A and B are shown apart, each in its own frame.
Chain A
Amino acid sequence: MAEAPRSAVQGASALEIRGLCKEYRRGVPVLRDINIAIARRGITAVIGPSGTGKSTLIRCINRLVEPTAGQILFDGLDLARLRGRALREARRRIGMVFQEYNLVERLTVMENVLSGRLGYVSPFKAWLRKYPKQDIEAAFELLDTVGLTQFANQRADALSGGQRQRVGIARAVMQRPELLLADEPTSSLDPKTSVEIMELMVSIAERRNIPVILNIHNVPLARRCANHGIGMSGGSIVYDGPPAGLTDEHLKRIYGGEDWLE
């Protein structure tokens, strides 16, 4: 599909975050001076305790949360400055997978997957479900990939958690994104399904050369899937490097204490 030209581009990162700060309330920073560079391919896993700003960091990138200060450079654009139409056009190039799937419950699986194209389809056509033929074709291909073809006409609220997240992944990939964000994509799933979902997402992303940034609590799973690890604690980055380099010493610093490591 749309992966070809990107791999040809050399050098620069897919995303570069500079001096990012976020305060929901004045004087109470949730993110403090975040600086990261995300490579054009591969999986970046952000780990850290609950409430440390991992979700906020991910949501600042596609501006579901407004950054207080800093730059988020994406293909020459500063995402932190975009407004209106320019922001919507940047958003449609960035897919997102959510912790609680965030499917539109009363729409069918097919409608949910196709909603990944809503940045390109006019309201009237979207309302009448008049999607371009190649979009519907692509949606069926994605449903084949995630193994839900038979569920195309089922309503999303009839699916199990694992199935819903498969739809969530299909919707995000349907955007033909140049970056995939995943906000704790497996935290609401059982351990076995978590691994399956993670592997599915990683394999789709690698096949299509989409760089992924994901938040995750499961450190072993992060080590297994990711090739870039970021450790956060108290709104700051305390580790940035290969996941294999994340030692128990680092984990102690990130999560505090050590009893849980036994």
Chain B
Amino acid sequence: MISGQGRAQAARQRPPAFLPNWPARLAWIALAAYAIYAASLLDVTWERFVIGLENGVKFVGRMLPPDTEADKMTLMLRGLYETLEIAVISSALGILISLPIGLLAARNLMPAWVTWPVRLFVALCRSFHQVIIAIVFVKAVGFGALAGILALTVASIGFIAKLFAEAIEEISLKQVEAIRATGASFLNVITYGVMPQVLTRFVGFATYQFDSNLRNSTMVGIVGAGGIGGTMFAAFQKFDYDFLLTILLAIIAMIMLSETLQNWTKKLYQ
């Protein structure tokens, strides 16, 4: 039995049950303070909001009804087809190239002298926005879909290779060890010990990147790298807002279709 006095003494010697994390608290307070300060610089007023609302109503009014003239539709379908082409080819190329690159960048399988340069390359691929890469490729190979394909391929490598490497770094090494213990060659260790563990995640990244490429391939047209973006930008500049609405609706439909396709693909690999 512990006496009352002894228990009081024991309570004094105990550490607190939960330690406060002061650095994290200070960081949150600083972030909140900066957000309030930054908002105060923006000059957001009620008046501006009301005027903006009126402009918005006018803009939407001019969009309706969507333009469905035959020649406009042909123009749009041609653009959409090119967009789809850019998305599919750049995704396929990007995914294919990312597989070995992601493997080489995984720090739990490769020595540092391999992973460092590969990681640097991947970071370089990821450091610029797709549109900026597209501008560079338009200068290099000229206007058209090829520039878009190359730009989005580079961007895809930047993302998938990184995510793939991270997925590999999280695998269970016990399964790898067991395959190694059978005397399997390096490639067999990869196909049996590593790939089964990351396949579902890899399919997830790949479908996500396809979705992302589909949306990005509607953008690169603005800088002349092919696809529906060019048509859309022209409609904007010519105040063809009703045609613009047709294009926007078509893009929405395409993205939703791709979403369905993605879910279906993911179900195949579980």
Chain A residues at the B interface, C-beta cutoff of 8 Å: 62, 64, 88-96, 98, 100, 102-107, 111, 115-119, 121, 123, 126-127, 168, 171, 175
Q: Which of B169-198 contact A (CB under 8 A)?
A: 172, 174-175, 177-185, 187-193, 196-197
Bound form: Cα–Cα A95–B178 in Å:
10
* CB within 8 Å for A171 and B175 given contacts A106-B199, A118-B192: no
In the complex, residue of chain A having the shortest beta-carbon distance to the beta carbon of B196: A106
B177 neighbours in A (Cβ, 8 Å): 64, 98, 102
User: What 1/0 mask marks residues of chain B from 85 to 122 whose CB sits below 8 Å from any chain A CB?
Assistant: 00000000000000000000000000000000000000
B184 neighbours in A (Cβ, 8 Å): 88, 92, 115, 118-119
Please classify how large the interface on chain B is, using the bins under 10, 10 to 19, 20 to 34, 35 or more.
Answer: 20 to 34
Q: 24 A-B Cβ contacts within 8 A?
A: A64-B177, A88-B183, A88-B185, A91-B180, A91-B181, A91-B183, A92-B183, A92-B184, A94-B181, A95-B181, A102-B177, A104-B175, A104-B192, A104-B197, A106-B199, A106-B200, A107-B196, A115-B179, A118-B185, A118-B188, A119-B183, A123-B188, A123-B191, A126-B188
Min C-beta distance of B92 to chain A, whole Å: 20
**Chain B binding site: helix, strand, loop or mixed by DSSP?**
helix
Q: Are B193 and A104 in contact (CB under 8 A)?
A: yes
Q: Are B178 and A103 in contact (CB under 8 A)?
A: yes
Min C-beta distance of A115 to chain B, whole Å: 5
Min C-beta distance of A239 to chain B, whole Å: 28
Bound form: Cα–Cα A171–B178 in Å:
10
A105 neighbours in B (Cβ, 8 Å): 172, 175, 196-197
Min C-beta distance of B48 to chain A, whole Å: 56
In the complex, residue of chain A having the shortest beta-carbon distance to the beta carbon of B198: A106
Bound form: Cα–Cα A94–B199 in Å:
29
Min C-beta distance of B226 to chain A, whole Å: 36
In the complex, residue of chain A having the shortest beta-carbon distance to the beta carbon of B189: A118
* CB within 8 Å for A64 and B182 given contacts A102-B175, A106-B196: no
